[in-house]
Amino acid sequence: MAERNISRAARNLTMTQPAASNALRRLREALGDELLIRAGRGVEPTPFALAIWPDVRTALNALRGVISPKSFDPLRTRETFVIAMADATAALLVPPLLDRLQRDAPNATLRLRPLTTRDPLPLLENDELHLAVGHFPGAVADMILREMQEDRPDTFGHQEIYEGQYVCVMREGHPLGEAPVSLDDYCAARHLLVSYSGRPFGFVDEALATRQRTRRIVLTLNQFFTAANVVAQSDLLTILPLDFIPATGLAERLVWQPVPVALPAMRVDMVWHRRQEQLPSHRWLRKLIDDVTLRRVWGTRNVPLTRFGGEPMPALIASTLRNPRGGIAQDD
């Protein structure tokens, strides 16, 4: 049910593929239902399997909590950790996270999934992820509301790990790159929108709408890396996370300035399902990401300077354009 693939499930269970298929056959005979049917290169659950899965999963997790060791040894674990995050977030966090994994948990595996939504809760509910890391304003607001209401189940956990800031980015030598962009010039320009869902309307457009303004979006895509590369070779403007720009490898070809419209604070959270919250391996993973974030985003690295017209700004001025703790946001 978690993998939708018998071969991967067998590998996770340390079984051969034929043994897993035989176990599934016995389960089908016992329950009188196909449970999983072939679909493409994997399998899909039947309606009956979907109906019983929530109770089965709860029972399995309860049993795991009884028989699993209460301690977790990173050096000995062979666990696979599945995390969803955007490419901009991954560019900052994955290198130091991988360094820590290689040092502290050399036999563990990290599997990253791209974010295609601002609402990761269905993926967590279906056990497709251990963690989602990103900007999830609606989902986090709903979780906070649930926490305030005693009669509503507290299904998901969350932790803010840093706050992000966007800047307006264009190529070196762009006609608008010599001074801060006015709102009129910004709205008149041609824009590239980074949107995970493909929806051609982002939070910048929402902010512009409050001032009865619009902008011309000529290209929509779902990757910050691609956006930086396209903008470096065109006259399009885009919005990128400030701390992500050095990771693009294109910083010398880009100019960035404040966005000429007030934007809401962009917080980046870890989100998880409560049923995994007390597992020692899950607590260790959350602590590891928190440690990496503190060191990578808030701690030892230099504050990136904001460039106007291709010239670095003094650090004091640059610091007024960004959250002192740095960070990334997720989706325009």
Per residue, what are the HEC states of 186-223? HHHCEEEEECCCCCCCCHHHHHHHCCCCCCEEEEEECC
- pLDDT recorded at residue 153: 63
Task: With a cut of 50, list the residues of the chain below it in pLDDT.
Answer: 298-332
- pLDDT recorded at residue 229: 96
Task: Write down all domains in the chain, each with its CATH number in brackets.
Answer: 6-67 (1.10.10.10), 74-164+266-299 (3.40.190.10), 166-258 (3.40.190.10)
- pLDDT recorded at residue 7: 86
- Model pTM? 0.67
- pLDDT recorded at residue 152: 63
- pLDDT recorded at residue 22: 92
